[in-house]
Amino acid sequence: MADVTLRKVVKRYDDVEAVRGIDLDIADHEFVVLVGPSGCGKSTTLRMIAGLEDISDGDIMIGGDVVNDVPPKDRDIAMVFQNYALYPHMTVAENMSFGLRLKNYPKAEIKSRVTEAARMLDITDLIDRKPKQLSGGQRQRVAMGRAIVRNPKVFLFDEPLSNLDAKLRVQMRIEIKKVHQKVRTTTVYVTHDQVEAMTLADRVVVMNHGRIEQIGTPNELYHKPATKFVASFIGSPAMNFVPCRLEDVGGKLHVRLTDRLAFPLPPARAARYQAVPRTDKLLLGIRPEHITEARPHAEPGIEPFDAVLDVTEPMGMETLVYFTLEGTQVCGRVNPNAGAQDGGPLRLAVDLNNMHLLNEVTGAVL
């Protein structure tokens, strides 16, 4: 087992910087997920840790040792790829043991490791089959088994679930989490799917344009985003952003959304935003679950308002409602029995205890 450290790591392709001087500390036994849109540098970062890409500048350390010039085979890492990379002419057992056989491990130890990994992944009855006789999920388990039997210092996963259907992705997420709970090997996992990132990670690293936007636990990123990018990328449906301004009304701080719609801020929020210049261009950030149907006895900080719905999306356990404020589309989540109808009116309430205020120009959360 080992920690992984990146210091000022840069990757250039000619004049293009794919990774721009990132710093990252991954603790021993930790499960860290790199997440971000296509082209943000997450896969390139993973491949540099693996040694499959040379770094242009900076240092990468595994277990305290600088591995910049160490070939992949000597880094004691195991990588699970998107396309499984199984040998079609070998059985499951032969695929899983291939790396050990190359290193001349004793046959008894190879059999023991393969048997234990197969048991852990629930593929014991498949070890004599060949890849063409397996489903996509079973092949992914074999690829994971091949990594587990090596007992490496670090596991690297490069979008391993993107080829699977939605139901199987959920099942495999659970399997990967179970395996990590048992094996506790340091793991770096790359995905563009923020649901995977949130459900799997001890900590999530959000990347954008080759830089790290924010690092934190799933709850920290969801409830305390540092930038508009993080706030919009983490969460589904995405956070709403409504242009607004602060103003003082009767000695109290209000957030004004339209000429006819302004809300008094709860005391804790008012204190937090008191020093913000009233002339700044701002955005009110509010997640859909904090816009719900109005109730008779609202708690402090929950303010009612009337809206005309554009579209409704019944989801079974909830209904997503969409309406427009000053040209900005806003999404809320209401009870299926709230009476939401396409084109119809609905009295809603916004929970300002969970609001965010952002600088519209810089995108920073205030």
* pLDDT tens-digit map of 236-279: 899 999 999 999 988 889 999 998 899 999 998 999 999 898 88
Residues of the chain with CATH 2.40.50.140: 240-359
User: How confident is the model over 34-79, as pLDDT tens digits?
Assistant: 999 999 999 999 999 999 999 999 999 999 999 999 999 899 999 8
CATH class of 4-226: alpha beta
In the beta sheet, which residues pair with residue 31? 187
- CA pair distance 34, 21, nearest whole angstrom: 15
225 preceded by a cis bond (ω within 30 of 0): no
Q: Quick check: 1 pLDDT over 70?
A: no
| φ, ψ dihedrals at 262, nearest 5° | -145, 145
**Mean pLDDT within 216-226:** 95
Q: Are 247 and 209 in contact (CB under 8 A)?
A: no
CATH number of 240-359: 2.40.50.140
Query: Alpha carbon of 162 to those of 105, 170, 192: distances in Å?
Result: 33, 11, 9
Domain with CATH 3.40.50.300 in the chain: 4-226
Residue 156 phi, psi dihedral angles, 5° rounding: -120, 125
Burial string for 99-127 (b: 16+ CB within 10 Å, else e) reads: bbeeeebeeeebeebbeebbebbebeebb
What predicted TM-score, i.e. pTM, was given to this entire model?
0.89
Confidence of residue 151 (pLDDT cuts 50, 70, 90): confident
Q: Which of 91-95, 146-150, 298-302 has the highest mean pLDDT?
A: 91-95
